[in-house]
Chain A
Amino acid sequence: EVQLVESGGGLVQSGRSLRLSCEASGFTFEDYAMHWVRQAPGRGLEWVSGINWNSENTGYADSVKGRFTISRDNARNSLYLQMNSLRAEDTALYYCAKDKYSTWDAAFDIWGHGTMVTVSS
């Protein structure tokens, strides 16, 4: 079964750091670009960051650029998001999502159930 399972969320004070993880199974992880998408309570979807299959290309939303770092370990079938200098507005459910194709430019066909990050001010 194709699956993405996020972990690492929690309650953290403003200004502190948190590292999210996403473990993939059921597909050849190293073949696909991966992304983080977040959803604040009661709000819409916001793309946060993406990384191509070999980590050579990464991208970030302006709202997190310089604070968040995406990475992956293909040997461990895992995606990560290092979040530094957290702010109250980073409070959201963070989803891990898989590109449909091996190219960097595709829709997101598999999503995890998310991990909640709450930043207290």
Chain B
Amino acid sequence: DIVMTQSPDSLAVSLGERATINCKSSQSVLYRSYNKNYLAWYQQKPGQPPKLLIYWASTRESGVPDRFSGSGSGTDFTLTISSLQAEDVAVYYCQQYYSTPRVFGPGTKVDIK
């Protein structure tokens, strides 16, 4: 099974500043035939279900603000919030959908400093 790790476990960022979350997979999730990374990012606010933010590692889901961006390839990925807003306080999860089981990372909690 692919193992997903995230760093840091939590971070606190000032409003308007950049937040960066890292995700690493134990094996590549790049499907070379399609040149696509099978990696998604989700946001979960307290008491709510997860919300898809990014898929194919860097494609923003419809309606997601452009301050959210994803990057990386192979085994190393990053979610960046370019200018943190109060409504971005949440736990963020990466997930690989390259193989079964569809493992999620342990999550990164983002707070306001």
* The stretch of A16-24, A42-50, A83-91 that contacts the partner chain: A42-50
Q: Which residue of B lies closest to A93 (CB)?
A: B49
Output the least CB separation between B45 and chain A (Å): 12
Q: Which residues of A contact B107 (CB under 8 A)?
A: 44-45
Which secondary structure dominates chain A's binding surface?
strand
Q: Range of interface residues on chain B?
A: 20 to 34
Check A44/B104 contact, CB under 8 A, given A62-B1, A105-B38: yes
Number of A-B contacts (CB under 8 A): 60
Check A106/B97 contact, CB under 8 A, given A46-B104, A47-B103, A50-B102: yes
Which secondary structure dominates chain B's binding surface?
loop
Report Cα–Cα, A105/B102, bound state, in Å.
Answer: 9
Check A44/B93 contact, CB under 8 A, given A35-B102, A61-B101, A105-B98: yes
Interface residue ranges, A against B (CB under 8 Å): 35, 37, 44-47, 50, 59-62, 95, 100, 105-109, 111-114
